[in-house]
Structure 1
Amino acid sequence: MKKKKWPFVYVAVITVLTYIPILLTVVYSFNASKLTSVWEGFSLKWYRELFRDRDLGEALINSLILAVLSCAFAVLIGTSGALGMSRRKRKLDDAVAYVSTLPIMIPEIILG
């Protein structure tokens, strides 16, 4: 049976269209000009300005601390919930499983 190549072409086009804006942002972040529409050459000027900003550095540290703490709490809560669900067998297990999938199903129901 011969495989059709159109699905692969479609995925390739969507992937390229998705990543082009990210690539352009990275390339133009090294632009010496203040305007993104004018290329004045390669420069690290804006990165030097970025790392000199003390408030931005504090915000980055706060964001990283918050990310690590929220990740740790999510792991603890998820693991304890999974262990609790696997060790207990109740009559309401089917209802609990249904209610836990509601946040996933509701958007599809509304769109349908």
Structure 2
Amino acid sequence: MNRTTIKWLNDRNRDAAKAECRKIDPTYSAKGRDCDEFPFAATWQGASAQPNPDRGRFSACPVNSDQNQAAGREFQTWYGVDRILDVFDPFYVRIDGTPPPDKQTGCFTYP
């Protein structure tokens, strides 16, 4: 992935992800949840960058707001610690394993 610090693009990525979260739960925000997305909103590969928004290659899921925001702060710290400054500093996320069956929600396999 490639980081972007362009506010309008980050916002557009978040808006695209939020539209998907509202399809899952139209009232997620009122329930104290955030919309978590992957690829991250602060990347050039975010939800709005996908070629077909109706069948995008991204994930969006309403999650606990406090946990999501804490993870976001850690992510921002990691950007600084590893000097991921902008588009010319590519990075990847390796995901090992899958959640146990009792932790797999509808969002786990979405979309």
Higher relative contact order (CA 8 A, sep 6+): 2
TM-score range, shorter-chain basis?
A: under 0.3
Which is helix-richer, 1 or 2?
Answer: 1
TM-score, normalization by structure 2: 0.19
- Bigger CA radius of gyration: 1
Which is strand-richer, 1 or 2?
Answer: 2
